[in-house]
Chain A
Amino acid sequence: MHEFSLCRGVLQQVTRIAEAHHAIAINAIHLHIGPLAGVEVALLERAFPLVSRGTIAEHATLEVTRSVVTIYCAKCGNRCEPKRLFICNSCHSSVTELLSGDEMRIENIVLKKRVQTDHVH
């Protein structure tokens, strides 16, 4: 149950980014989480409002894109979405390479910028 730690990690990163862009609010945070990331998205979504209360991300919506597990089989060269664990659907070898499914990324955030910035380009 490390969803609180993950939320705090997300919040720290997006806060720094928001400051660098002179934002007054973070409207949305878009995450990409694979089924093998070890993250329970429902728990993450419940933890986020608690962790973000009183911060620049307080009213941000959390959008989560899920991906699927895909593997490459070193034995037969097949690429597939495995039916079981990391096992190749065609030759049933378990010597496989994970191509996707363990993603745990912040893709982008939507910021509302301050009207006047003290930073001049």
Chain B
Amino acid sequence: MCTNCGCNGGKQYTVQGDGFSADHTPPGETVIVDVHRALLFDNDQQAARNRQRLTEHNITAINLMSSPGSGKTTLLERTIDELLTRYRIAVIEGDLETENDARRIRAKGVEAVQVTTGNACHLDAAMVGSALQQLDLKQIDLLFIENVGNLVCPASFDLGQHRNVTLLSTTEGDDKPEKYPLIFRASDLLLISKIDLLPLLDEFDLQCAADSFASVAADTPLLQLSAKRGDGVAQWLAWLNDTHQQLQRSS
């Protein structure tokens, strides 16, 4: 009988551990091998490597998530305009197809890597790892990762980011947080975008959106902004600045 792996020499052989423990069960047998690992173990490992690389270079990495068309790229354009004199910025753009968003960012004088995911509805840590290879990390303070527009899948994939920011635009339903609780619960900040359109949109109630968000992520801050008109942009920049300073102190 084996004392290392727990096999009992009887009919049922079990190898305890994480899938890679020493196996002293006899050849030719059917054995149960304990694994107890996350389904996304490989992704999580790659994400941890990405995060470590970014942290070593004193980069603050922000993962932007939302539905398609909620204004992520417009927010980035505005953010670059406001911050480029203070921070060195780079962007990783995730889309199923086209370089359009990366082109908009490059037009602002900022380096942008376009990741086209093909049929994949989210970015994963390996895609972000490859994109990082194309960037000179020594020349970056703030890295924005614009995830594929989708409120479901991106929530499950750690990319190595330091913070998650989710956008909810006023042209969407104000009950979105309750409909897609995972992504909103995983957020470190919620931005209600396109508030300049509020006078035109009877259906969107800011208080309902805030209540819906609080029901899934009670302790998470929420800001309202219009990247186009500029309302609330100062608060967003202050949040970015505070987050960057905070990460610099802790690293």
Give the interface of A toward B (CB within 8 A).
1-2, 5-6, 9-10, 12-14, 16-17, 20-22, 27, 31, 36-39, 84-87, 93-96, 104-117, 121
Contacts and interface: CB of A to CB of B under 8 A. Distances in A.
Contacts of B31: 21, 110-111, 113
Contact of B28 (A13, A20, A39, A113): A113
Q: How big is chain B's contact interface, by range?
A: 35 or more
B218 A9 contact: no
Given A2-B121, A95-B218, A17 B33 contact: yes
A107 B34 CA distance: 6
Given A36-B182, A111-B30, A6 B215 contact: no
Contact of B39 (A21, A86, A104, A115): A104
A16 B18 CA distance: 12
A39 B152 CA distance: 10
Given A107-B34, A109-B33, A114 B27 contact: yes
A38 B153 contact: yes
A106 B27 CA distance: 24
A80 to B, nearest CB: 16
Contact of B29 (A12, A109, A113): A113
A24 B42 CA distance: 23
A1 B181 contact: no
A interface majority secondary structure: mixed
A27 B31 CA distance: 10
A110 B34 CA distance: 9
A86 B216 contact: yes
Given A85-B215, A94-B216, A17 B40 contact: no
A9 B120 CA distance: 14
Contacts of B218: 93-96
B156 A109 contact: no
Interface in B23-39: 23-39
B55 interface: no
Which of A86, A87, A116 is packed against the most chain B CB atoms within 10 Å? Answer: A86
Contact of B41 (A13, A110, A121): A13
12 contacts: A5-B120, A5-B122, A5-B124, A13-B37, A21-B33, A22-B27, A95-B219, A104-B38, A109-B32, A109-B33, A111-B31, A111-B32
